[in-house]
Amino acid sequence: MSLYIPSIARRQLLRGAASLAGLALAPAAIGGVVLAAPSLADNPFSLGVASGEPTDDGVVLWTRLAPKPLEPDGGMPPERVAVRWEVAEDPAMRKVVRAGKAMAAPNAGHSVHVEVAGLKPNREYWYRFTAAGAQSPVGRTVTAPAKGAAVDRLRLCYASCQKFEAGFYSAHAHMAQEAPDLVLFLGDYIYEGAPRSKDAVRLHANPEPKDVAGYRVRYASYKTDPLLQAAHAVAPWMVTWDDHEVANDYGADRDQDSFDPQGFLRRRAAAYQVYYEHMPLRRRTMPVGPDMLLYRTLDWGSLAQIQMVDDRQYRDGKPCQPAGPPKRGKLIGDCEERRDPGRSILGKPQEAWLLDALASSKAQWNLLAQQTLMAELQLGDPAKQATRFYSSDGWDGYPANRDRILQRWREAKVSNPLALGGDIHAFAAADLTGTPDGPPVAATFVGGSISSTGGESDAFAAKNPHIKQFDGKVRGYGRVDLTPKGGRVTFRTVENALVPMSPVRDLASFALENGRPGVHRV
């Protein structure tokens, strides 16, 4: 099969391969330290490189050494291996401005997370790693503008839901070709299911993961995809998770069908550890047992502030469930418990942090990066109370929490709020209104799915008048362009995610107007 690879990825892949082929396979000495020399029959950089968490003076650089990526230990010896890193001002890596050494340790799956500081604000950099005589592809990254600085523009792409079996990653290739300043990944980076041949274009590599070894193989198998690697290598990512990074429809210490919180928390600890190992995250995010602090703020000068939240780890249980185990009811009526003002999808501490952050933001555009459709979605027939129902797994299971955010946006006069999301395997654009038929307080845009199928029915959405666009049949990603004068959200869809490389087109575009919240189609 000949696979089209976008030019940037192809260049990087070739560069990585060439540097491997040209190197003598002797133990290398870097900074006087003799490195362990794992067998170099295979490329230790098989999972690519990534960067993330940009600030105005630095960024996190990531890689994981895995010459045999589908083995639980990645084909690495049980010892620490030194990894040299370099950051340059040019793609040819001639003007190196920062360099150092990190240790890839077995208890971290031989991943490295380098927190580079001392870089200049608001500019491009390139980086690479060297380990055990091999050199990684070169990645591009971007630092954030200085705090409060005027900024002309920000281009970010956002994506979610990339089930490996459901399709190929052309969307990532197109995202890479846009050379955005930033990529937001909003959850379902992996799916935890066992290999299933029905409708699969390729199969999961291992049985359903439940422990560190299993999740390592699952994450590594996704990360071997060259188009996903290209998207990581083109820009810094900010990531959050949804449910499938651990288990379907889980919340806090419960998965969808078990009443074994202790057992589930052990599984969650393994999944969170391996998630950390595979993402360009800061050390302060490193999990402790089953806990991992993932909510945070990203500033982009005076132009934008992004609050990235975690709606899985701290949520209250599903409302209005039938008595007795297992509690599975995903679809619920408009029941009393659903509306309980004490309930939170973010959990009290995170919610307090978010409401404070929103009130104190001085940025012109305020983006809430969250996992799912933030707008209400009435399923069934909204005209008939008796047949009206909701999904309990998203904001509709926690409407009081959503109302408190809308209220804060309105009362604190937060400048130009909008919410981005994923999860529903559809493109959606909706007004967020505080009251039925009230004026929009904000807009929300779900940027489709990279490959996952089976989105909510378009017909249900048509019965929700605040939802201005809904398309669950196509795959792709969202793009947001922001300037001080205004912005644009564009839904980018691939023609066919079932083939390895497919062209992209615009499905729809929406204007972001300064001081005029809501969905404005262009």
- Which residues here bind Fe ion, judged by CB under 5 A? 161, 188, 452
CB-nearer residue toward Fe ion: 150 or 203? 203
Provide the minimum distance between the beta carbon of 51 and Ca ion in the complex, in angstroms, as a whole number: 25
- Note whether 64 and 107 are within 8 A (CB): no
Chain centre distance of CA 84: 27
CB-nearer residue toward Fe ion: 53 or 393? 393
Half-sphere exposure (CA, 13 Å, Cβ side) for 47? Answer: 29
Q: Which residues contact 242 (CB under 8 A, 6 or more apart)?
A: 160, 161, 186, 187, 188, 311, 312, 371, 372, 422, 423
- Note whether 31 and 79 are within 8 A (CB): no
The answer to whether 471 contacts Ca ion (rule: CB under 5 A) is no
Tell me the two tokens of residue 85: 């890193």
Half-sphere exposure (CA, 13 Å, Cβ side) for 304? Answer: 29
- Note whether 432 and 406 are within 8 A (CB): yes
From Ca ion, Fe ion, none, interface partner of 247 (C-beta below 5 to 8 A by class): none
CB-nearer residue toward Fe ion: 224 or 453? 453
Provide the minimum distance between the beta carbon of 248 and Ca ion in the complex, in angstroms, as a whole number: 8
Provide the minimum distance between the beta carbon of 83 and Fe ion in the complex, in angstroms, as a whole number: 33
Q: What is the radius of gyration, based on Cα positions, of the chain?
A: 22
The single residue among 242, 299, 310, 351 that binds Ca ion, judged by CB under 5 A, is: 242
From Fe ion, Ca ion, none, interface partner of 116 (C-beta below 5 to 8 A by class): none
CB-nearer residue toward Ca ion: 249 or 471? 249
CB-nearer residue toward Ca ion: 242 or 311? 242
What is the SS3 string spanning 197-241? CCCCCCCCCCCCCCCHHHHHHHHHHHHCCHHHHHHHHHCEEEECC
Provide the minimum distance between the beta carbon of 450 and Fe ion in the complex, in angstroms, as a whole number: 9
Q: Residue ranges of the alpha helices (H) in 412-469?
A: 458-462
**Total number of residues that touch Ca ion (CB under 5 A):** 4
> What DSSP state is assigned to residue 254?
B
Give kind and range of the element (H or E) at residue 261.
helix 261-278
Provide the minimum distance between the beta carbon of 188 and Fe ion in the complex, in angstroms, as a whole number: 4
CB-closest chain residue to Ca ion: 242
Chain centre distance of CA 26: 38
Residue 471 CB coordination number (10 Å)? 18
Tell me the two tokens of residue 411: 């009362």
Provide the minimum distance between the beta carbon of 203 and Fe ion in the complex, in angstroms, as a whole number: 18
The binding track of 423-462 with respect to Ca ion, each residue x by CB under 5 A or -, is x---------------------------------------
Give kind and range of the element (H or E) at residue 10.
helix 7-21
CB-nearer residue toward Fe ion: 135 or 452? 452
CB-nearer residue toward Fe ion: 188 or 225? 188
From Ca ion, Fe ion, none, interface partner of 225 (C-beta below 5 to 8 A by class): none
- Note whether 449 and 479 are within 8 A (CB): no
- Give the range of 1-9, 128-136, 195-203, 241-249 binding Ca ion by CB under 5 A: 241-249
CB-nearer residue toward Ca ion: 181 or 242? 242
The single residue among 56, 243, 255, 431 that binds Ca ion, judged by CB under 5 A, is: 243
The answer to whether 299 contacts Ca ion (rule: CB under 5 A) is no
The answer to whether 245 contacts Ca ion (rule: CB under 5 A) is no
* Binding residues for Ca ion restricted to 175-194, rule: CB under 5 A: 188
If DSSP codes are grouped into helix, strand and coil, which group holds residue 429? strand
Beta bridge partners of residue 100, listed in sequence order: 85
CB-nearer residue toward Ca ion: 173 or 292? 292
Beta bridge partners of residue 300, listed in sequence order: 302, 304
Provide the minimum distance between the beta carbon of 248 and Fe ion in the complex, in angstroms, as a whole number: 9
From Ca ion, Fe ion, none, interface partner of 452 (C-beta below 5 to 8 A by class): Fe ion
From Ca ion, Fe ion, none, interface partner of 243 (C-beta below 5 to 8 A by class): Ca ion
**Binding footprint of Ca ion on the chain (CB under 5 A):** 188, 242-243, 423
